[in-house]
Amino acid sequence: MENPVIQIRNMTKVFHLGGGNDVHALRGVSLDIYPGEMVAIMGPSGSGKSTLMNMIGCLDSPTSGEYHLDGLQVSSLVDDELAMARNQKIGFIFQKYNLLPRANAIENVELPMRYSENTDDMTGRAKEMLKLVGLEERMNHKPNELSGGQQQRVAVARALVNHPAIILADEPTGNLDSVAGQEVMDLLLKLNREKGTTIVIVTHDPGVASQAQRIIRLFDGKIVEGGLE
């Protein structure tokens, strides 16, 4: 069996609010996600879902525990090292697209490459990814000239362009109507099935989560379904 692309052991996260008030956002989380899996993370407000997403995305460091991402021990990295891991190992898709309004689709997709070590033929690689997500006719359009679904497709292309170990999608259909949202989900499912892309989706939508291969549910900072046995 392949090694997990995400391996988390006994991860905790405590936020110190002052005055002796501590918030235990994660309480000993352990989790494996394997290459080629499509996994949904769910949980009510305050469950630790967003905190776990930040840990997986190398946006924050745990209070204790271990996290290996694609073989890299990231749980003890400092800020600059976390930034490098984010750029090299993770492709992000956000609910609000986070596109540069004055840049066209090609320029938006090029952005992660500008912060990486591999800057060869950025425009060619960006065009290749835009073709992959079905936007070959809209490459020179700016975000305000694209529909919401098309903007999210640009975001998917941007997430893929550095060939990351995982795609981390935070409520990827949250700003879309049901038709556009399902089109984005169909694209993610296609990437997972045909390209073997490892995808982690953080969502509150049961309809989105049901399309994943596995659902991980959190409650009060603990995994209550879909974690390690």
Structure tokens at 212: 């994943």
Measured from the Cβ of residue 205, the count of other Cβ atoms closer than 10 Å reads 17
User: How far apart are alpha carbons 132 and 96 in whole angstroms?
Assistant: 21
Residue 163 maps to a domain: yes
Return the pLDDT at 227.
84
Question: In 10 A of CB 177, how many CB atoms?
Answer: 12
Q: Which domain holds residue 183?
A: 35-61+78-225
Q: Residue 113 sits in a domain of what CATH number?
A: 3.40.50.300
pLDDT at 229: 61
Residue 89 is assigned to a structural domain of this protein: yes
Q: Is residue 132 part of a domain?
A: yes
Is 70 exceeded by the pLDDT of residue 85? yes
Sign of CA dihedral 132, 133, 135, 139: negative
- State how many domains the chain has: 1
Q: pLDDT tens across 9-32, in order?
A: 999 999 988 777 899 999 999 999
Whether residue 194 lies inside any domain: the answer is yes
Residue 123 lies in a domain: yes
For residue 109, the model assigns a pLDDT of: 97
Residue 109 lies in a domain: yes
First to last CA, the chain: 17
Nearest to 67 by CA among 52, 47, 49, 87: 52
Answer yes or no: is 207 within a domain. Answer: yes
pLDDT in tens, 179-205: 999 999 999 999 999 999 999 999 999
Its pTM stands at 0.93
Report yes or no on 14 lying in a domain: no
